[in-house]
């Protein structure tokens, strides 16, 4: 099956372009990023703070089953245009990947479908490549585990 | 010293990435490659050796000259390396879609109830 998510990562560049089309109206897609309760559900992280407005900031924290914090991230929101655009910084705490600038563009395709374009700019091409190489296998496992946890509760 | 010799080691260095770009469209000798860089010739030779060990480049003897060209098959591994990263994002976005669909459905159901 072809994946719906497309990633353009040109060699030697310090940015990435991630695009994805959703079977959701653009308002709902935007809501998934703007409201803490939805971010918590799909990102599988605790939202300590999320000020969805221009010049706001956010903090995420994820703990394992024993309550140990395994992931911490934070950033500031530079621009927040409801239903259209979010520009924010993202920094994983206690990780060597530096800070990244994220530009999210939300677009309606039809009344019921939408498109997300995520432009991520890293501090350097090396930092981008490091980040793409190192944690993704772990991230993938985490996503699978989360899915299993959620489905497990439904049983 | 780190003796890891794979495509990731190869593309981790900016000079090596530049060499790969240069050789993407042409076959060149070590001297011709070095002429494109301000880096000292032995440094370029070292990078060419690493790229060859990583099998991203192939050497071809032509008379007295050794020509370097890209090994396309190995380059595909570089393209494949973003695949797990893409998988991770695809999983995440699938989750987003299902969470928001459930919410949409719940709202619809509530709406129906209110009408009744």
pLDDT at A124 over 80: yes
For residues B22 and B35, is the Cβ–Cβ distance under 8 A?
A: no
Query: pLDDT by residue (tens digit) across A77-98?
Result: 999 999 999 999 999 888 778 8
The pLDDT value given to residue A116: 95
Residue B37 pLDDT more than 60?
yes
What is the full DSSP assignment across A122-147?
A: -S-HHHHHHHHHSSHHHHHHHHHHHH
Q: What pLDDT does A130 receive? A: 77
The DSSP call for residue A28 is H
**Which residue does chain A place closest to B98, by CA atoms?**
A42
Q: Is the pLDDT of residue A155 over 60?
A: no
How high is the pLDDT of residue B84?
A: 76
Cβ contact, residue pair A12, B21, below 8 Å: yes
Q: Which of B9, B51, B78, B94 to mutate to test the interface with A (most CBs of A within 10 A)?
A: B94
* Contact (CB<8Å) A116/B90: no
Return all residues near A12 (Cβ < 8 A) that are at least 6 apart. A125, B14, B17, B18, B21
Question: pLDDT (tens digit, 9 = 90+) per residue, A66-76?
Answer: 888 888 999 99
Instruction: Look over chain B and give the mean of its residue pLDDT values, rounded to a whole number.
Output: 83
Answer whether B90 sits within 8 Å of A5, measured CB to CB.
Answer: yes
| Confidence tier at B78 by pLDDT (50, 70, 90) | low
Rounded to the nearest 5 degrees, what angle is found at the Cα of A89, between the Cα atoms of A136 and A145? 30
At residue B115, the 3 state secondary structure works out as helix
Can you give the pLDDT at residue B4?
A: 57
The DSSP letter of residue B93 is H
Q: What three-state secondary structure class fits A32?
A: helix
Predicted pLDDT at A41: 93
> What is the per-residue pLDDT for B44?
93
* Residue A65 or residue B49, greater confidence: B49
What are A9-61's pLDDT values in tens digits?
887 889 999 999 999 999 999 999 999 999 999 988 999 999 999 999 999 99
Q: Using the predicted structure, report yes or no on whether residue A121 has a pLDDT greater than 70.
A: yes
Partners of B105 on chain A (C-beta within 8 Å) are none
A76: β partners: A57
Q: Does A41 touch chain B (CB under 8 A)?
A: yes
pLDDT of A150: 45
Most confident of A30-39, A135-144, B101-110: A30-39
**Where are the extended beta strands (E) located within A5-135?**
6-8, 15-22, 46-50, 57-63, 69-81, 85-92, 99-108, 114-121
Mean pLDDT of chain A: 85
pTM: 0.65
> Out of A11, A32, A139, whose CB is closest to B96?
A32
**What is the percent of chain B where pLDDT is above 70?**
87
Angle (CA) A60-A64-A65 rounded to 5° is 135
């Amino acid at each position: 099956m072809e994946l719906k998510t497309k990633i353009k990562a040109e060699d030697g560049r310090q940015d990435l372009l991630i695009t994805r089309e959703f079977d959701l109206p653009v308002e709902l897609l935007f809501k998934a990023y703007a409201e803490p309760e939805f971010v918590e559900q799909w990102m599988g992280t605790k939202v300590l703070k999320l000020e969805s407005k221009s010049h706001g900031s956010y903090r995420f924290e994820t703990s394992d089953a024993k309550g140990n914090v395994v992931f911490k991230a934070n950033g500031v929101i530079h621009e927040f245009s409801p239903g259209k655009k979010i520009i924010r910084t993202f920094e994983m705490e206690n990780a060597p990947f530096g800070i990244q600038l994220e530009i999210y563009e939300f677009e309606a395709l039809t009344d019921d479908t939408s498109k997300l374009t995520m432009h991520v700019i890293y501090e350097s091409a090396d930092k981008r490549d490091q980040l793409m190489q190192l944690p993704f296998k772990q991230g993938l496992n985490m996503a699978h585990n989360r899915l299993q946890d959620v489905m497990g509760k439904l049983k | 010293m780190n003796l890891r010799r794979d495509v990731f080691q190869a593309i981790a260095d900016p000079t090596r990435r530049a060499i790969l770009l240069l050789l993407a469209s042409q076959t060149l000798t070590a001297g011709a490659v070095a002429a494109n860089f301000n880096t000292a010739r032995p440094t370029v030779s070292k990078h060419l050796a690493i790229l060859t060990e990583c099998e991203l480049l192939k050497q071809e003897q032509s008379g007295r000259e050794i020509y370097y060209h890209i090994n396309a098959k190995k380059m595909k591994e570089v393209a494949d390396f973003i695949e797990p990263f893409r998988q991770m994002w695809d999983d995440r976005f699938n989750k987003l879609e299902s969470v928001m669909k459930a919410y949409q459905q719940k709202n619809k159901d509530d709406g129906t109830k209110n009408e009744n």
